[in-house]
Amino acid sequence: MTAARAGNDSGTPESGTNDVRGRGFTSRAALSAVEEWVDASVVPLPPRVVALAAAASALGEGVVLAEPVTAPGDWPTADRAARDGVAVASSDTLGAGSYNPVPLPGAVTVAAGEPMPPGTDAVLPVEALQVDGPFVEALGSAAPGDGVERRGEGVRAGTVLLTAGHRLRPQDIGLLAALGIGTLRIGARPRVRIVLAGGPRSGPETLGAMLSALVARDGGVVELVGPLPADRAALAAAYAAHGADLLISAGRTGVGEDDVAPLALADAGELALHGVALRPGDSAALGRAGAVSSVLVPAVLLPGEPMACLTAYELLAGRAVRRLAGRGSALPHPAVAAVTARKLVSEIGCTELHRLRWTAEGMVEPVASPHRPGLAGAVRADGFVVIPAESEGVPAGATVTLRCFDGTSL
């Protein structure tokens, strides 16, 4: 069945437990209003304090800093050799050349990274030296600082090395270890309960596997429940159970007689809104769950159709997971400019997600319409473009912002 229209008059979420089964939606909330609800309702969890070694071991899971990291001191802590050679006083090499070797009685052999010996201020490379037994001669002159890494040249004390929200990389771990930073405050790992609502029509195996991977990508720890029958009481009990920081349910959000997930959420806590001006994914719902424990946690109900589920997760549920984990609200997909090879048609009043792929000519073209269900189009696509509700589409030859799917090439 189809809904009556794509947006409501105010563009804001509508509270209540309206039963849309068999009747359809009279209105849907604008995506921007739904995003505002998520941002206002989902507060980042307290950060974790972990040892640097533990953070290094968890890099594959994505470790995000909860606060900036500042250099506790200069790096390097003293002048040191930047190359292999001989440490000299630069004044001792004045006038040296291949036809005028200059003896260096105080020369000291150094390797890159070693502290500079007292009284020296330059490192001559081995190519500029002539060695005859114990005698060393300079075949070239050196200026003060040649071949030397000065104290604080890499990092000055008090410098902000990494900002809050930065995802740690191996090179970051190496520098932090060199600076003697032994602990970090990193984002929490929210406990996310995923409830699969309904039977085979919702594709529980597909949804469970996909959502578990998405939540893990965004920093959450998954508790997978179900699939449960399309039973209002059973779903409400699963929603209300304590132990989660966020509830995500997939399936049974539409207008069929057995689409009882929104009503079950109302029983388990609060149904804040049902229906979003988003395609695919327009039957998504938001609210709070936890009536059993009296501690209400944010809840996002996703459609059971896999592509609609993916879209609503990326733009709504994923936003909540990332905020809880201290990663902010932004999409985790790299954004690149791309030129459309064909027109992207969109309906005014509804935000639409178009799946696109690169052409041989370096442009992008649609793989599947937002109206077409299934994940095959998303698998063949290199990324997606979100067309805002106020747009009628994008003409051929226009520049768009392509959000690249994980693992795809630019």
pLDDT tens string 202-251: 566 889 999 999 999 999 999 999 899 999 999 999 999 999 999 999 99
Q: Is 394 strand, coil or helix?
A: strand
Q: What span, in angstroms and rounded, lies between the C-alpha atoms of 202 and 373?
A: 13
User: Residue 331 carries which side chain, given as an amino acid letter?
Assistant: L
Q: What span, in angstroms and rounded, lies between the C-alpha atoms of 287 and 274?
A: 9
The encoded tokens of residue 331 equal 């999409």
- Per residue of the chain (410 residues), what is the pLDDT tens digit? 333 333 343 444 444 467 999 898 999 999 999 999 999 999 999 999 999 999 999 888 889 999 999 999 999 999 999 999 999 999 999 999 989 999 998 789 999 999 999 999 999 998 999 888 788 899 999 999 999 999 999 899 999 999 998 999 999 999 999 999 999 999 999 999 999 998 655 566 889 999 999 999 999 999 999 899 999 999 999 999 999 999 999 999 999 999 999 999 999 999 999 999 999 999 999 999 986 666 899 999 999 999 999 999 999 999 999 999 998 899 999 999 999 999 999 989 999 999 999 999 999 999 988 888 888 889 999 999 999 999 989 999 999 999 999 755 44
Q: Is 222 strand, coil or helix?
A: strand
What pTM was estimated for this model as a whole?
0.81
Q: How far apart, in Å, are the Cα atoms of 245 and each of 38, 66, 166? A: 14, 18, 23
The encoded tokens of residue 176 equal 């932090």
Phi/psi of residue 267, each to 5°? -65, -35
pLDDT digits (tens, 9 = 90+) for 319-377: 999 999 998 899 999 999 999 999 999 989 999 999 999 999 999 999 988 888 888 88
Determine the number of helices (DSSP H) and then strands (DSSP E) in the chain. 9, 26
Peptide bond into 227 cis (omega under 30): yes
179: left (phi over 0), alpha (psi -120 to 50) or beta: alpha
Q: Report the run of H or E that residue 236 belongs to, with start and end.
A: helix 232-240
Long-range CB contact pairs, 14-22, < 8 A, 24+? 14/273, 15/271, 15/272, 15/273, 16/271, 17/262, 17/263, 17/266, 17/271, 18/274, 19/263, 20/255, 20/259, 20/262, 20/274, 20/275, 21/255, 21/256, 21/257, 21/259, 21/260, 22/255, 22/256, 22/257
Contacts of residue 407, defined as CB under 8 A and 6 or more positions apart, other chains included, come to none
Q: Is 161 strand, coil or helix?
A: strand
Residue 337 contacts residue 401 (beta carbons within 8 Å)? yes
